[in-house]
């Protein structure tokens, strides 16, 4: 197949969406599909895997400069006409994706107008409006999302809870399909646990170890991995940690983002280790060297880092929210709280700290669950959706003749 991907977001920005698109490009290369990607400027190379990357300038969002309103270039139109894709995949269509829809409508009478569209839903933008203080725009964002996706043969999303949410907001039941995610259980594994790294974490902050020496079992390592931004609700982790007994636990935050300075300031007097972004084996070792994973987000459609933590043998302390509740079974692979307060979260943390045998058993079950999520299976779900969209478009064209 010839596949055009139009995305609002891509590498070098690192988040669940960009990593998923990178995995998709790698899979499509292995399957020998021809791929072109339109997205934001940023990559120094003109290709990723075998896909040609065509970038554009954008206007940074004031409260989140890492995200941009990307502009449609005349070059995009020329490339689209020359490439003649069999299917166009719109990733979280908002600005660039909406422009792609408009271009297809403008060229309705040509072959471009007959190209089927598939959209993927990665980001709860309507929920983000509330977190950024734009709650009045939440209904408008939902209507705009539904409008953009209505032009597509199919919308794919990563979890059942997200699918239900989309249907509740007017998406067509027949068009919304699952596109699950996967995890590399060889890369993310308990076997990468490193006592030396644990010792480094525990001695990297003032008062981390009162005796100045580290022994296995001294403290429970609580890990957060992800973007450090306001919509991730990381402040709940910090507020909970402030009220913990720090002689029993230590918090490690892996990641970077627009809220990092604010988060660091709010816990300046606490023993917290900030590592910045970690990649590859360093990230895998960080997961495996912790004792449980804290994930407070309420805006997820899936939670890729949750799956990576589970594959690494960590139980998850999370909230009853979209995406996360599809992965974590309460009291089986972790603990989920439906009261989003530090008091309720603290109770779960104390249970995990004070019950190490139970914690380890939850982590073992978490890895078993994670092992059922493979990238090949996940990506093939999407490839089959591409094929179905092409077949549907051909059937409609035959019916109009």
What is the mean pLDDT of the segment spanning 23-35?
A: 97
* pLDDT given for residue 206 in this prediction: 46
* pLDDT given for residue 38 in this prediction: 97
Is residue 247 predicted with pLDDT exceeding 60?
Answer: yes
Quick one: how far is CA 140 from the chain centroid? 23
Instruction: Give all strands of the β-sheet with 292-295 in edge-to-edge order.
Output: 272-276, 249-254, 220-225, 292-295, 316-319, 334-337
Q: Which residues contact 209 (CB under 8 A, 6 or more apart)?
A: 202, 203, 218, 219
Q: Give me the torsion for CA of 59, 47, 13, 33, rounded to 10°.
A: 100
pLDDT band at 208 (very low <50, low <70, confident <90, very high): very low
Is residue 281 predicted with pLDDT exceeding 50?
Answer: yes
Whether pTM > 0.85 for this model: the answer is: yes
pLDDT band at 209 (very low <50, low <70, confident <90, very high): very low
Range scoring the smallest mean pLDDT among 82-86, 242-246, 336-340, 388-392: 336-340
As a whole-number percent, the residues of the chain with pLDDT over 70 amount to 93
* pLDDT given for residue 395 in this prediction: 86
Mean per-residue pLDDT of the chain:
91
As a whole-number percent, the residues of the chain with pLDDT over 90 amount to 76
* pLDDT given for residue 211 in this prediction: 41
pLDDT band at 127 (very low <50, low <70, confident <90, very high): confident
pLDDT band at 215 (very low <50, low <70, confident <90, very high): low
Cα–Cα distances (Å) from 346 to 249, 308, 341, 350, in that order, read 12, 23, 9, 6
Is residue 86 predicted with pLDDT exceeding 90?
Answer: yes
**Is the bond preceding residue 157 a cis peptide, omega within 30 degrees?**
no
Range scoring the smallest mean pLDDT among 50-59, 128-137, 208-217: 208-217
In this structure, whether the domain defined by 190-370 belongs to CATH 3.40.50.2000 is answered with yes
pLDDT band at 230 (very low <50, low <70, confident <90, very high): confident
* Higher per-residue confidence, 218 vs 308: 308
Q: Which one, of 380, 381, 389, 375, lies nearest residue 22 by Cα?
A: 375
pLDDT band at 62 (very low <50, low <70, confident <90, very high): low
* pLDDT given for residue 214 in this prediction: 43
Residue with tokens 């490839």: 383
Establish whether domains 2-182+375-400 and 190-370 are of one fold: yes
What is the mean pLDDT of the segment spanning 237-262?
A: 95
* pLDDT given for residue 188 in this prediction: 98
C-alpha–C-alpha distance, residues 70 and 191, integer Å: 42
Q: How many C-beta neighbours within 10 Å does residue 253 have?
A: 25
pLDDT band at 146 (very low <50, low <70, confident <90, very high): very high
Burial label, 346 (beta-carbon count in 10 A; 0-12, 13-18, 19+): middle
Cα–Cα distances (Å) from 184 to 23, 311, 371, in that order, read 11, 8, 8
**What CATH number labels 2-182+375-400?**
3.40.50.2000
pLDDT band at 63 (very low <50, low <70, confident <90, very high): low
* pLDDT given for residue 216 in this prediction: 45
What's the token pair of residue 212? 């100045």
C-alpha–C-alpha distance, residues 61 and 234, integer Å: 21
* pLDDT given for residue 132 in this prediction: 63
283-331 per-position pLDDT tens digit: 999 999 999 999 999 888 899 999 999 999 999 999 998 889 999 999 9
Is residue 271 predicted with pLDDT exceeding 70?
Answer: yes
C-alpha–C-alpha distance, residues 295 and 303, integer Å: 9
pLDDT band at 68 (very low <50, low <70, confident <90, very high): confident
Q: Domain map of the chain by residue range? A: 2-182+375-400, 190-370
């Amino acid at each position: 197949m010839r596949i055009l991907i139009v995305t609002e977001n891509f590498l070098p920005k690192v988040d669940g969406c960009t990593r998923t698109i990178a995995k998709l490009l790698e899979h499509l290369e292995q399957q020998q599909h021809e791929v072109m990607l339109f997205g934001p400027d940023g990559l120094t190379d003109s290709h990723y895997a075998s896909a040609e990357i065509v970038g554009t300038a954008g206007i940074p969002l004031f409260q989140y400069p890492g995200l941009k309103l990307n502009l449609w270039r005349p070059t995009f139109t020329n490339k689209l006409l020359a490439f003649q894709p069999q299917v166009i995949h719109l990733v979280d269509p908002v600005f660039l994706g909406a422009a792609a829809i408009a271009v297809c409508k403008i060229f309705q009478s040509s072959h471009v107008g007959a190209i089927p569209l598939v959209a993927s839903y990665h980001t709860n933008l309507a929920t983000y409006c509330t977190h950024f203080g734009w709650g009045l725009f939440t209904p408008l964002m939902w209507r705009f999302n539904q409008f953009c996706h209505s032009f597509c043969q199919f919308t794919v999303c990563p979890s059942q809870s997200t699918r239900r949410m989309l249907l509740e907001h007017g998406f067509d039941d027949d068009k919304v399909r699952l596109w699950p995610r996967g995890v590399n259980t060889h890369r993310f594994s308990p076997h990468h646990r490193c006592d030396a790294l644990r010792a480094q974490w525990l001695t990297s902050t003032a008062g981390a170890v009162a005796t100045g020496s580290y022994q296995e079992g001294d403290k429970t390592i609580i890990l957060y991995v992800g973007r450090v931004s306001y919509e991730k609700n990381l402040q709940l982790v910090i507020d909970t940690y402030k009220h913990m007994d720090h002689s029993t636990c230590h918090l490690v935050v892996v990641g970077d983002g627009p809220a990092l300075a604010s988060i660091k300031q709010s816990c300046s007097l606490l023993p917290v280790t900030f590592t910045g972004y970690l990649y590859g084996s360093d990230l895998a070792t960080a997961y495996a060297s912790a004792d449980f994973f804290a994930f407070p987000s309420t805006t997820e459609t899936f939670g890729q880092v949750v799956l990576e933590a589970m594959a690494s043998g960590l139980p998850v302390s999370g909230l009853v929210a979209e995406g996360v509740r599809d992965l974590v079974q309460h009291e089986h692979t972790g603990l989920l709280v439906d009261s989003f307060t530090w008091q309720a979260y603290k109770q779960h943390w104390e249970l995990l700290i004070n019950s190490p045998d139970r914690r380890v058993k939850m982590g073992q079950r978490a890895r078993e669950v994670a092992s059922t999520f493979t990238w090949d299976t996940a990506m093939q779900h999407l490839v089959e959706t591409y094929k179905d969209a092409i077949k549907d478009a051909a059937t409609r064209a035959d019916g109009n003749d």
